[in-house]
Structure 1
């Protein structure tokens, strides 16, 4: 049974639909990456699952329950975590205060959450007392991911987690994504850095103009010459 199923998603912003019947399936422990050109609806699809963009048609089912258009705060309690591409940390708060915000719906879980996150992301530990605004871009992204993991979510959604980062931090983040999946959580990410993302993904989905163009294993999409020509830069 799939952990997440999106079927026939139609929706967008205001009166404009960005998604035109998109489908998506994620199993527990899987890494699934959504790729495609700018404006394809990739981030909109993630936000629809996270309860941040309303759908006018279609269904989102999580662990057998219909969560279509449910409030974002409810979905956090159900075990979904979403990390936006931008403005994903509180710059005036310390690293540890940012992490604690990830457990705001269950404060009693803060201590255990901090222990797990520091074990996964040890570079954050010596910086726990410094303001998040003083971190590098890669360190901020690690912090945002760490905050999302504070309540042991069953599904972690990442919107462009390596955007604008150095190759070193890109490789580090993709490695951590595999570690998160190995712990049992599913990871759904949108990425423009498509080739390395597909290399760590169990499955990939190609969106174009709000519709599915292809879906296969990450390795198969990387080996597909048409996908390479149209969506991976040759």
Structure 2
């Protein structure tokens, strides 16, 4: 399950199991609940603060928990709406946020990274990718709102309709990522960037973010229904 550490004014949210280096960090319902609980803990802190989200090993996050999803397909709409809550929570989080993308960020994992204010990718390994077109999966209204709200239009077209895998340099060129770092420097670089912004944690920051991302947050709040999601478990 996800866990939390702290480095000065910076909280570090690890998406995987402590001591396990290659968890895929998929969005199981229990995993989603634990992420929210840890974010509650971060929000309850006082004073300057910022948040870094990262993982260890090969994966940042491999996205939806498809094993759980297809085993509980009667709950698909509820499940997807729970996934969306992670994106909206991070997008409007009342302190600076930085994703340290240590490895593959696929599907919902890529969207999680994109929900942070800033993204630093590992220079030599790992892709940011939306593979839904290859998997025969649609984007929910909420996911579409997030991707199109956070990326330039033609980048969103390419990412969503071709399933392109973006390594660090390509992601930076496309505006998907802001910077890159070697593996051993990735987390320190993300913490340093977050620490430099920790003093911006003031009540007005949440107001700014909610206004800045207003249309995207409105889209993320759209409930998933059979009418707006043509999704077939077969």
Give the TM-score category using the shorter length.
under 0.3
Q: What TM-score, normalized to structure 2?
A: 0.28
Q: Point out the structure with the larger helix share.
A: 2
Q: What TM-score, normalized to structure 1?
A: 0.28
Q: Point out the structure with the larger strand share.
A: 1
